[in-house]
Amino acid sequence: MSYQVLARKWRPRTFESLVGQEHVVKALRNALDQKRLHHAYLFSGTRGVGKTTLARILAKCLNCETGISSRPCGKCSACMEIDAGRFIDLIEVDAATNTKVDEMRQLLENSVYTPTRGRFKVYVIDEVHMLSTSAFNAMLKTLEEPPEHIKFILATTDPQKIPVTVLSRCLQFNLKQMPAQAIAAHLEAILVEEKLPAEAGALRLLAECARGSMRDALSLLDQAIAYGAGNVTEQAVRSMLGTIDDSFLYSILEGLARGDSAAVLAVAEDMRARSVGFDGALQDLGTLLHRIALAQGAPEAVDAEGGLRGRLLALGRTLAPEEVQLYYQIAIHGRQDLPFAPDEFAGFTMALLRMLAFAPETRDAGESRPSGSKGSEPPETAKPAGNLQAAARGSFDGDWPKLANSLNLGGIAKQLAQASELGSFDGEALELCVSPAAKHLAEKSFQEKLRGALQERFGRPVRLTVTIRETTGNTARDRAAAAVTRDAFVRDLVENFDATIIESSIKPVQ
C-alpha cells in the first residue's frame, strides 16, 4: 500500500477533530442542529487553516443518510464518498483555473438539476476571489435566489477582492491562524498515534515555522520524519529548517546589555561559521525582543522553557523598556535593509553595531574612559559653552546643540535631541533633522517626550517636526566629537601613544 502524507491522512473528518476554529464550529453546529440553513457560506483565512476541510465536513452534515446533523455518521455511503472525494453531488471548483464567465455560466446552468444521490447539491468554489468581474456578475442571481437543493460554500484567502454584492449574500466566517501551542499539541497527538518519538523542542520549532497553518505544519513534520529517519529531534529539525539556537540570540542581547561589542560580534561570527541565515536571525531577534517586552509587562505570560525562561526574565530586568523598543525597531529596519547590504553578514553585524551605538545613556556611567585619561574628567573643551538652564525662560539663541544638552530629558528622547540638527524655528514650530543612520530614534513616543521638554523650557506650546535627511554635522554629538578631537591632551595621546578616538563613546555633557 502506498504511503499517504500526514496532511491527507489526518485531515479532520468531523467538527470534533478540527483544531483551532471553535468560533466557526460553534456557529455551524447550532445552525445545523436547529435546521437554520443558509444557502451560501463564505470561509476566509490564510492557507492551511481548514477552509476546504470545513466545507467537506459541512457537506457531510447536509447529506448524511441519517439526516441533517452536526454529527454525521461517517459510515454511510454519502459520508464515505465525500471523505474519499468522489461524491457526485459535491462539486469542487478551483476558481484560480476557472475564472471565465462562460465556465461559471455552464456551472450555474447545471445547478438547476436536482441532486443525483444526496439531499443537496453542494458547490465548493475555492479561491473565489480570483473569478473575473463578469463571472461574479453571472453568479449573482443564482447566489441570491438559488434552488432549494443548492448550497454554495465559497473559500478565499483574500476576501477584500470579493465584490460586496457577493459578500452580502453569504454567511461569512473568518478562520483564524492557529496558535503555535495548539499546532504543537496536535502534532504530538499525531506522533503518538503514529508511534514515532519526538522531542517537545522539535515540535515547537515546527509549529512556529508553520506560521499558523496546520497543513504547513504537517508537511514540515513529514519532512522532519524523513530527515531524522523516524526520530524527530530538536537538533535535526534546527538543521533541517536552518534555524538558530535561541541561546545565540540570548547571548547577543546579554552582550548588548553589558555594552560588550567584542562579545556581541563574537557570537555573530560563530553564527556565520554555522551558516545561519541572517534574515531569519533578525526575524528571530525581533521575536525575542517582543517576548522580552511582554515579560516586562507581564512576567507570568512568559512561555520560554527551562533555563531560557530565567535568561529571558533577567534580560527583561536588565534592559530598559525604551531600550527594548529601540532594539526591536533596529532589528525590523535591519531586516528591511538586508537586501541592500554588501552581504547578509555585513547587514546583520551593522544592525548589531547600530544597537551598540545607540545604547541609552542610562548605563554610560559605568563605562570606562578612553585609555590614557587616568580617571580625569573629559576635556573642558568638550563641554558646551554656557548653561541654558540659567538662561531666561522661553529664550532661544538658535544654538540647538546647547539647548539639546540642557533639556530635562533622559534615555532615547535625549539621544534624539543630541543626534538632531536644527532645521527651522519660528517661535512656535520647530523642525529638527535626523540623519538616516539615526532614524530609529525618531519614534513618535520619543518625539512626544522631546516636545514636552521643549514646552516646559519655553513655557508655551511647541509644534515639533522631525525630518529624516542627511545632516551637516551641527548636532550636539558632532560638536562634542569635534571638541574632543581638538583637545591638546587628546591630540598628544593620539600622536605619541598611537591612541584611537572611539567616536561612538563620546557623549555630550552639560
Mean pLDDT across the stretch 401-424? 85
Statement to judge: residues 79 and 217 lie in one domain: no
What CATH number did the domain enclosing 26 receive?
3.40.50.300
Pick from 3-17, 170-184, 211-225, 367-381: least confident: 367-381
In a domain, 372, yes or no: no
The pLDDT, as a whole number, for residue 264 is: 92
Statement to judge: residues 32 and 95 lie in one domain: yes
The pLDDT, as a whole number, for residue 56 is: 92
Task: Determine contact, residues 125/154, Cβ cutoff 8 Å.
Answer: yes
Taking alpha carbons only, the member of 163, 117, 119 closest to residue 144 is 163
> For the chain, what is the domain count?
4
At residue 300 the predicted structure's pLDDT band, cuts being 50, 70 and 90, is confident
The pLDDT, as a whole number, for residue 373 is: 37
At residue 495 the predicted structure's pLDDT band, cuts being 50, 70 and 90, is low
Task: Determine contact, residues 417/476, Cβ cutoff 8 Å.
Answer: yes
Give residue-wise pLDDT tens across range 12-37: 999 988 888 889 999 999 999 998 99
Could you tell me the three cell numbers for 499?
591612541
Using the 3D structure, point to which of 217, 241, 265 is the last residue of a domain.
241
Provide the phi-psi class of 190: left if phi over 0, else alpha when psi is between -120 and 50, else beta. alpha
Statement to judge: residues 232 and 267 lie in one domain: no
Pick from 26-30, 187-191, 324-328, 411-415: least confident: 411-415
Strand partners, 123: 91, 152
Phi, psi at 498, each rounded to 5°: 55, 35
Using the 3D structure, point to which of 148, 174, 200 is the last residue of a domain.
174
Determine how β-strand 121-126 pairs with β-strand 150-156. parallel
The pLDDT, as a whole number, for residue 222 is: 92
Q: Is the pLDDT of residue 146 over 60?
A: yes
Give residue-wise pLDDT tens across range 432-458: 998 888 888 888 888 888 888 888 888
Statement to judge: residues 10 and 142 lie in one domain: yes
Statement to judge: residues 343 and 460 lie in one domain: no
In a domain, 374, yes or no: no
What CATH number did the domain enclosing 218 receive?
1.10.8.60
Most confident of 93-97, 103-107, 316-320, 481-485: 316-320
Taking alpha carbons only, the member of 25, 61, 12, 41 closest to residue 156 is 41
In a domain, 335, yes or no: yes
Could you tell me the three cell numbers for 275?
551558516
What CATH number did the domain enclosing 447 receive?
3.30.300.150
How far apart (Å, rounded) are the C-alpha atoms in residues 482 and 382? 8
DSSP 8-state code for residue 510: -
Output the pTM of the full model. Answer: 0.62
In a domain, 504, yes or no: no
In a domain, 505, yes or no: no
In a domain, 501, yes or no: no
Using the 3D structure, point to which of 292, 325, 359 is the last residue of a domain.
359
Mean pLDDT across the stretch 404-428? 84
Statement to judge: residues 17 and 166 lie in one domain: yes
Residue type, 439: K
- Can you tell me whether residue 156 is helix, strand or coil? strand
What CATH number did the domain enclosing 352 receive?
1.20.272.10
Mean pLDDT across the stretch 70-83? 90
Identify which has the larger pLDDT, 306 or 453. Answer: 453
Q: Is the pLDDT of residue 277 over 90?
A: no
Domain hosting residue 114, numbered range: 6-174
The pLDDT, as a whole number, for residue 219 is: 92
In a domain, 130, yes or no: yes
Phi, psi at 420, each rounded to 5°: -105, 165
Give residue-wise pLDDT tens across range 356-405: 888 765 444 444 333 333 333 433 333 333 333 337 345 677 888 888 88
Statement to judge: residues 188 and 270 lie in one domain: no
Statement to judge: residues 93 and 190 lie in one domain: no
Statement to judge: residues 341 and 410 lie in one domain: no
Task: Determine contact, residues 452/410, Cβ cutoff 8 Å.
Answer: no
In a domain, 48, yes or no: yes
Statement to judge: residues 32 and 116 lie in one domain: yes
Statement to judge: residues 163 and 225 lie in one domain: no
Pick from 60-64, 387-391, 418-422, 437-441: least confident: 387-391
How far apart (Å, rounded) are the C-alpha atoms in residues 453 and 476? 17
Residues 6+ away with beta carbon under 8 Å from 187: 198, 203, 206, 207, 217, 218, 221
Statement to judge: residues 15 and 51 lie in one domain: yes
